[in-house]
Amino acid sequence: MDAMDRDILLALAGDGRLSAGALGRQFGLSQPAMWRRIKRLQDAGVLKGRRLRLNSAAVGFGVTVFLGIKLATKGRVSLEDFERAITAIPEVQSVDHVLGLYDYRLRVVARDLADFERVLRRRIMTLPGVGDIESNVLLSEERRMGPI
Amino acid sequence: MLDDVDRRLLRLYQSDPDLNLADLATQAGLSAAKATRRLDKLAQSGVIEGVEAVIDWAALGYVVEVSLRVALDKTQTRAFDNFIAAARAVPQVIEIQTFLGRVDVRLSVLARDMADYQQLYRDHILTLPHIADIEALMLVSRIKDETGVPL
């Protein structure tokens, strides 16, 4: 990783559709030279694909809630059962297995608070082994470029 | 408001952002011109915010990711603004979120290893202004990671 690799990562994190030609013009490299750099970053696993960023409120999902979940019963089987069941819920965007106050951290989207309550009560609280649950409603969010 | 065709287009695009326009249009059952027009409209109205490259921080050597749940001292009127402004200046912070609930602010931070994390925590996190309480959740594994919405 040199300074130009960092610049390329920053540019692609802002707009993942930039072509090798466009990036090359921006940073003073030929298209093939830029293509090789991008390929190297992909091969090293640093660039692992692209993601469409949607405004979730604009597509009808106005509420995002983060849940901390503690399992009441533990053991390998119950962890696997829980993980399989929780990842199958479409409103659950992300599931992180964590160490600390909770066992899992979830990001859940819903149309509104009533819809969230339905997902929480009917889909999540009914899962086997679920113990303590804490909900925090997301108010604002910003992603930073990070230590590139 | 979105119609069913918009939803279908977004669902396909969301599940595979590498699709080129022609393939996306075909799969959505639209002509390329119609698909382009719809995507442009969705971008202009702010529904589509963009396409971003996903960076694997572990591949860059940042293998430790910690979620820091912070309660702020709300007797300080500018606690949120001051805290967030100071957190933005820490490069290892990759996410800043504010909440309604027991947690006021959550930071996601990256570190190269536990020693690096300890130093970051002591020198740059605990020194952030107006912290009343802080709890750490250390990421063990990511079981599901979809930023997509169930369209």
Q: Which 3-state string (H, E, C) describes A46-114?
A: CEEEEEEEECCCCCCCCEEEEEEEEECCCCHHHHHHHHHHHHCCCCEEEEEEEECCCCEEEEEEECCHH
Asked if the structure places residue A53 within a domain, the reply is no
Judge whether A82 lies within some domain: yes
Q: Which tokens belong to B31?
A: 């002509």
Is A130 in the same domain as A91? yes
For chain B, what percent of residues have pLDDT higher than 90? Answer: 87
Joined together, the tokens standing for residue A129 give 């082994």
A87/A26 same-domain check:
no
Same domain, A68 and A122: yes
- Residues A12, A67: one domain? no
Whether A38 and A67 map to the same domain: the answer is no
Same domain, B38 and B86: no
In a domain, A51, yes or no: no
- B1 pLDDT above the threshold of 80: no
- Residue A91, domain member (yes or no): yes
Give chain B's domain count.
2
| B92 lies in the same domain as B40 | no
The reply to whether B76 and B113 lie within a common domain is yes
The CATH number for A14's domain is 1.10.10.10
A77-116 residues touching B, CB cutoff 8 A:
83, 86-87, 90-102, 104-105, 109
How many domains does chain A divide into? 2
* Same-domain check for residues B65 and B39: no
pLDDT for the residue A32: 95
pLDDT of residue A79: 85
pLDDT at A90 over 90: yes
B113-to-A7, A20, B26, B120 alpha-carbon distances in Å: 24, 33, 47, 10
**pTM of the predicted model as reported, rounded to 2 decimal places:** 0.89
CA B140 to CA B66: how far, in whole Å?
Answer: 9
pLDDT over 70 percentage in chain A: 97
Inside any domain, residue A107:
yes
User: In this predicted model, which residue has the larger pLDDT, A128 or B62?
Assistant: B62
The CATH number of the domain where A69 resides is what?
3.30.70.920
Min Cα separation B147/chain A (Å): 6
Q: Is the pLDDT of residue A46 over 70?
A: yes
A:B CB pairs within 8 Å? 199
Q: What is the pLDDT of residue B88?
A: 97
pLDDT in tens, B33-83: 999 999 999 999 999 999 999 999 999 999 999 999 999 998 999 999 999
Residue A99 region, left (φ>0) first, then alpha (ψ -120 to 50), else beta?
A: beta
Q: Please report, for the domain that includes residue B104, its CATH number.
A: 3.30.70.920
Residue A103 dihedral angles phi and psi, to the nearest 5°: -90, -35
Domain housing B67:
58-138
What tokens appear for B129 in the block? 């202004």
Are residue B115 and residue B83 in the same domain, yes or no? yes
Average pLDDT, integer, range B12-27: 91
User: Could you give phi then psi for residue B131, rounded to 5 degrees?
Assistant: -80, 125
CB contacts of A93 in chain B (<8 Å) are 144-149
Contacts of B56 in chain A (CB under 8 A): 45-48
Rounded Cα distance, B28 and A91, in Å:
23
The confidence band for B13, taking pLDDT boundaries of 50, 70 and 90, is: very high
* Domain assignment of residue B70, yes or no: yes
- Nearest residue, CB atoms, A52 vs list B48, B56, B135: B48
- Domain boundaries, position A31: 3-43
Q: Is A127 on the interface with B (CB under 8 A)?
A: no
* Residue-averaged pLDDT of chain B: 94
Residues of A in contact with B151 (CB under 8 A): 59
In this predicted structure, the answer to whether residue A73 has a pLDDT above a threshold of 80 is no
Q: Does A129 map to a domain?
A: yes
Residues A25 and A87 in one domain: no
For residue B113, give the DSSP letter.
S
pLDDT tens for each residue of B91-141: 999 999 999 988 999 999 999 999 999 999 999 999 999 999 999 999 999
Terminal alpha carbon distance of chain B: 13
In contact, B82 and B76? CB cutoff 8 Å: yes
B69 lies in the same domain as B117: yes
- Count of CA atoms in the C-beta half-sphere (13 A) of A7: 12
Is the model's pLDDT at A76 over the cut of 70? no
